[in-house]
A and B are shown apart, each in its own frame.
Chain A
Amino acid sequence: MIVLVIGGSGSGKSEYAEKIICSMYDLAKINDIHSSLFYVATMKVYGEEGKAKVERHRNLRSGKGFETIEQETNIENAVAHLHSLSDCILIECMSNLVANEMFTVSDANDYSNNNECKDSNKYKSSNEYKDSNKYKDTNKDKSSSEQDNNFSVISEDEVVAKVEKGIDRLFSSVQNVVIVTNNIFEDTQDYDELTAAYISALGRINSHLAKISDEVVEVVAGIPVVIKGGTLCR
């Protein structure tokens, strides 16, 4: 069973997603199926605000028996931590994963890291990005920001292809998945091209996820609204 949970900031989507993965896990235990419960965290922790967010989520999860896998990029690598096909995993969340795959900011003080970044595929991809016609207008701004802030970007199409491939690989290795994503699509479209590309990439990935999920649920003010399915989520 694959369940996609979508909601806005402060909608209560995390709490709901945890409830669903825990009910899958309980179901496995009742049926005497050997299963482990995993939390796949995709958020890169920046500063006090990030730490506070992680702390809040940890408190929500505490005592529920989750093993945590930190997977900020390359979601398919989470497979290495799993024990069996009947494991239960909660992935939180796609908006962070997609941002991490798309934008790389390296620490200006960490030169070794910076050099690695320049040698990596990501940097090559970023050169391809520069060559693409679609983003020609932003190239100047972007290359200068790259120099100033060690900021690199890979294109929307590449991110979508990479994340979808990673997800498909992961889903072929585990049966019980709840995946949390973010509704970032209902405000003005008055954004720069990079942000617009990010919004578009996440939208495409969300649509792919909804297609391959058994159930899709939107959480509104803590209340689940079923969009697809309705056996487990109601």
Chain B
Amino acid sequence: MILVIGGHSSGKMNFVKENLNCNFENDNVINNVNAIAEEMFEAGMDYETAANLIYGKCCDKIVLTDEIGNGIVPMDASKRDFREWMGRVQIILAKKSDDVYRVICGMGQKIK
């Protein structure tokens, strides 16, 4: 798996298109894994199970994920929990990935 992490609108998709030599029309790119993860969170799944499920489905794919932990802690308890939970999912996905890119200002930095 290749994990691409960066803030919302940080240019992850363009970076992948231009640099990671993949065909976007194919199924090999998961554009927003946070949406899939959020459904699992809402179903009450723990982060380890969720990360393993996502990895099982996406282990041969390029996975794009939004960094959502770099802001003010939300007032809403469930949003707060999801941010923390999503961060832990991302840590496990990053551990399992062959390559991890961090995208900022459209620039991808290979951090693993």
Contacts and interface: CB of A to CB of B under 8 A. Distances in A.
Nearest to B90: A221
A43 to B, nearest CB: 12
Contacts of B84: 9-10
A9 B5 contact: no
Contacts of A49: 77, 80
Contact of B7 (A10, A11, A184, A186): A186
Interface centre among A7, A10, A195 (most CB of B within 10 A): A10
A223 interface: yes
Contact of B87 (A8, A185, A191, A225): A8
B71 A220 contact: no
B109 interface: yes
Interface residues of B, number: 28
B70 A185 contact: yes
Nearest to B93: A221
A184 B70 CA distance: 5
Interface in A1-30: 7-12
Interface of A: 7-12, 49, 183-188, 191, 195, 199, 220-223, 225
11 contacts: A8-B87, A9-B70, A10-B69, A10-B87, A11-B87, A184-B72, A185-B71, A187-B70, A187-B71, A221-B91, A225-B111
Q: Which 8 A-B pairs have the closest CB atoms?
A: A10-B87, A187-B71, A8-B69, A9-B69, A186-B70, A222-B91, A221-B94, A8-B70
Given A223-B94, A225-B102, 11 more contacts: A8-B67, A8-B71, A9-B87, A10-B83, A12-B87, A184-B72, A185-B70, A186-B7, A188-B71, A221-B93, A222-B94
